[in-house]
Amino acid sequence: MPEPERPKPVRESPEDPASPRPGRGAADGGEAESDAERRRRRAQFLRELNEAKALRDRVQPRRARAVRMRQQMRMRTFRW
């Protein structure tokens, strides 16, 4: 029996890395616009990263606790 075809992952964000980004050409001189776009994309990425970390902490509480304990130990042994 043939294996069922898996659906391809779909990005919800219109920022597809394969698509050309507007405001990135050297000829158009939109440097301020590209900086604003870069900051917006970076903020979006950081929001998604924090959301993923929070989800991982909820799903794996033992691992999250171990990470917290290691971080506390690092902070205790850090020399100022």
Q: What are phi and psi of 39, to 5 degrees?
A: -65, -40
Read off the tokens for 29.
């001189």
Please list, residue by residue across 44-60, b when 16 or more beta carbons sit within 10 angstroms of its beta carbon and e when fewer do: eeeeeeeeeeeeeeeee
From first to last of its 80 residues, what are the pLDDT tens digits of the chain? 556 566 565 555 555 555 555 555 545 556 667 999 999 999 999 999 999 999 988 999 899 899 999 999 999 988 76
**H or E, element range at 47:** helix 31-59
The model carries a pTM of 0.46
Read off the tokens for 22.
């507007």
